[in-house]
Structure 1
Amino acid sequence: MTTNNESQQMRAESPVGKSGRLKSVAVAAAFLGATLLGAAQAQAATTWKIQSVWDAGTVGYDLFEEWANSIEEKSNGELIIKPYPAKSVAADNNGLFEAVRNGVLQGMNPFTLYWSGKIPASVFLSSYPAGPDQPHQWDIMFYSMGMLEKTREIYKKFGLFYVGPIQHDANIIHSKEPVNSLADLEGLKMRVPGGMVAEVFQQFGVSTVSLPGSDIFPALEKGTIDAADYVGPAVNYELGFSQVTDYIMFGPPGVMSIYQPVDLMDLTVNLRAWNALDPELQQLLEDEVRIYSQKHYLTIQKRNIEAMKKFKEDGSKVTRLSQEDMDEFRRAAIPIWFNWASKNEDAREILDIQIEYMMNETVGYLSEDDLKGIEGM
């Protein structure tokens, strides 16, 4: 039989008295709460797969991958972006477009001009011959003149959301012979993009050829073409263009390219995926795309400066067209702008924003006289 004194002593020596039991319950409750909170946060996290058109190992993809991976921390773990290089999920551009529309991928990082056959307005959502030729001009039109909102209206028709433009670079021309004026273009066989670019160069006697990027070097090496357009100096140097050409054609001072001076990329996502995001995450992504655009552009330009030094060391020479050549090129291009815009109402509305801007005295690229007699005006 246990005495009262013994019972009291046992309770005193027991590691779990009333106070101990309360502490245990509190610890268990805290643990359960933390577990449930962690589970809720894990469930709240959204993961997106986004494919770029940059190949793995390129400076373009390295920059995109770094940016994509930064979003998880910036969103406090609420949004995770898994980046993929070109062809890793969708094998080609057509497949990329459909993969994002269908939700196989939640987004893409393409060159906007790729969709000219699917979204006709996209021919005016990146630079075109003799149009706005400075990166800041495109930012002004997108972010200050309503072009971003109009672009988003257009993309929604395809089940897509256009988050924002990403500044990249100009496209330039490498040639075997010097091109010091538009007259020197006569008779050249030149690789250029199709569409408006080819049509304008044809006005100056150029025989235009369409070739994939991988075929340009051998075509120049064999002499089957006299000149070739491709991207900017940094990439073109890595492709060995200084080995097969002697000249680089630029526009007037301050203008690297007269035909595709601001080759824009963008971030486009599946519309359903976008609408499922919390508004604060949507705003974060919009802001981050603008920041990324600047970083991407500045990094590419730094590489361009370094590459031009290497071209010069290899013996390449820069030739420049004059401002008079630029004006003549624009006069040839204007009717072609309106011809392309007449094919699609959305394209015309985008061009109208740009015409208004180019006619403004702050820019001064166009006047009423320039547009007189143009069919489609």
Structure 2
Amino acid sequence: MHDKTRQPAAIDQDSVSQPASAAAKPASRRTFLKGAALGSAAAVAAPWIGSVQAQQGIRIRMQSSWQPGTTGYKTFENWANRVQELTSGEVSIEPFPAGAVAGAFEVADAVRNGVLEGQNWFTVYWPGKMPAGVFMTAYPMGLSMPHQWDMMFGAYGGFGIAKDLYRKQGQEFLGHVHHDLNLIHSKVPLRSLDDFNGLKIRMPGGIVAETFASIGARTTLLPGSEVYPALEKGTIDASDYTGAAVNYELGFWQVTDYIIMGPPSTPCLHQAVDLMDIGINRRVFERMSPETQDLMHELVAAYSREHYAAIQAANAEAWPKYEEKGVEIIHLTEDDADRFRKAAIPLWFKWANKDADAARLFKAHLKTMQDPAVALVTEEDLQGHTLNA
């Protein structure tokens, strides 16, 4: 069994970098966008470099949900520190890690109120103030592959709906950011859904928490920074959080013995595509030149590819480390997945019927799930469930 006495790896609290110098050479948008990894960009002047906005500069203080020192935060910080050059000096992003300026669940309010200008957070944190937020990222037994979410946002209109929703919150939605599936780390073995009955487990709230509550779990809402101490003290038995690499970096292997996953067909039952997003204060967005407004969307799309690739590369290195530490990976069964699906579907409609915006976005999900190339639901699955709007 692994050593329980060690503390999580030291995290550099001073790792927040300042924006690059305004004197940085302008970068070619086309060259930059050729590489999903955001490699070096050619120094070719952009057509709006002489604008007043470029001379004055627009500073965006942007807080991430990633804790400092993690692969996620390092990738975010690296991208943020390149934006000034890539926008020819018009925009600079000052990155902050989780909790540095606003609490994990207050980031959107901070952006709307001008305490921050931007956010890079887990969209699952929306539900308390915007029910449609549960459909901005993965929910139990919904769209289960990254490309399916790209289809929903693109082919089935989700991007435009997200734009509308964010503007109601005083923000401009710049795009979704692919991350990973989520894992459940547990102090006790959970070998079937029955074992969740009475389990004290951290969940991110909303439809995810309600689905686990429906199978008997006792859920609690905690920010990521509080998961390790809660597991260590035994105030919770298990916790959902991010993927293999980041959770290893946060030391979860020191306080839990098991990782719980779905069956091979569905490795994650509850948040298979845990999306983040990047949004900025609407007034700040309107100060940008039209060319830079377009470019910011493209930079976020490219960042999503870089972020996903970095997380997956780190995961490949992390999985063997869990085995070395004696952590057992438990896969639930196909029967468990079927039971969880039956528990989840009524809650899809419950949340979609909370308001017209939630229903509108969920319709885009349903169309995607019924696309023949996705085929996640059938008419039989949906019998007895209706949308009010």
Residue 55 of structure 1 corresponds to 67
Q: Secondary structure in 2 aligned to 1:50?
A: strand
Q: CA RMSD in A?
A: 2.4
Q: Secondary structure in 2 aligned to 1:373?
A: coil
Please list, as runs of the form range in 1=range in 2, the aligned pairs for 1:269-288 lying within 5 A after superposition: 269-288=280-299
CA positional deviation for 1:279: 1.7
CA positional deviation for 1:313: 0.7
- Distance in 1 between the 2:85 and 2:279 partners? 21
For 2:346, the aligned partner's letter is: P
Aligned residue among 265, 279, 282 for 1:268: 279
Residue 315 of structure 1 corresponds to 326
- Distance in 1 between the 2:127 and 2:354 partners? 12
- Distance in 2 between the 1:350 and 1:141 partners? 9
Aligned residue among 33, 56, 66 for 2:78: 66
Q: Secondary structure in 1 aligned to 2:79?
A: helix
Q: Secondary structure in 2 aligned to 1:92?
A: coil
Structure 2 residue 268 is matched with structure 1 residue 247: no
Which deviations, in whole Å up to 9, do the C-alpha atoms of 1:225-257 show, x marking residues without a partner? 332222222122233322332221111225432
Q: Secondary structure in 2 aligned to 1:356?
A: helix
CA positional deviation for 1:133: 1.3
- Distance in 2 between the 1:38 and 1:132 partners? 44
- Distance in 1 between the 2:229 and 2:288 partners? 47
CA contact (8 A) 2:64 2:120 kept: yes
Which deviations, in whole Å up to 9, do the C-alpha atoms of 1:143-170 show, x marking residues without a partner? 2221000110111122211010011122
- Distance in 2 between the 1:224 and 1:94 partners? 21
- Distance in 2 between the 1:140 and 1:250 partners? 25
CA positional deviation for 1:332: 1.0
Residue 193 of structure 1 corresponds to 204
CA distance 1:93–1:210, change in 2 (3 Å) = closer
Q: Secondary structure in 1 aligned to 2:173?
A: strand
For 2:201, the aligned partner's letter is: M
CA contact (8 A) 1:69 1:82 kept: yes
Please list, as runs of the form range in 1=range in 2, the aligned pairs for 1:51-130 lying within 5 A after superposition: 51-88=63-100, 90-93=101-104, 95-130=106-141
CA distance 1:202–1:309, change in 2 (3 Å) = same
Q: Please identify the structure whose Cα radius of gyration is greater.
A: 1
CA distance 1:176–1:157, change in 2 (3 Å) = closer
CA positional deviation for 1:372: 1.0
For 1:231, the aligned partner's letter is: T
- Distance in 2 between the 1:259 and 1:173 partners? 10
Residue 368 of structure 2 corresponds to 357
CA distance 1:284–1:234, change in 2 (3 Å) = same
CA contact (8 A) 1:112 1:266 kept: yes
Please list, as runs of the form range in 1=range in 2, the aligned pairs for 1:1-377 lying within 5 A after superposition: 43=55, 45-88=57-100, 90-93=101-104, 95-253=106-264, 255-374=266-385, 376=387
Gaps of 5+ in 1: 1-36
- Distance in 1 between the 2:272 and 2:262 partners? 9
- Distance in 2 between the 1:102 and 1:298 partners? 33
For 1:373, the aligned partner's letter is: G
Residue 12 of structure 2 corresponds to none
CA positional deviation for 1:291: 0.7
Q: Secondary structure in 2 aligned to 1:369?
A: helix
CA positional deviation for 1:94: 5.5
- Distance in 1 between the 2:117 and 2:53 partners? 21
CA distance 1:324–1:364, change in 2 (3 Å) = farther
CA positional deviation for 1:191: 2.6
- Distance in 2 between the 1:156 and 1:134 partners? 27
Residue 20 of structure 2 corresponds to none
Which of the pair is proportionally richer in helix? 1
CA contact (8 A) 1:129 1:200 kept: yes
- Give the TM-score of the pair, scaled to structure 2: 0.80
- Distance in 2 between the 1:101 and 1:143 partners? 26
Number of residue pairs the alignment of both structures matches: 340
CA distance 1:295–1:254, change in 2 (3 Å) = farther
- Distance in 2 between the 1:107 and 1:310 partners? 35
For 1:56, the aligned partner's letter is: P
CA contact (8 A) 1:172 1:256 kept: no
- Distance in 2 between the 1:328 and 1:229 partners? 19
- Distance in 1 between the 2:134 and 2:356 partners? 13
Residue 29 of structure 1 corresponds to none
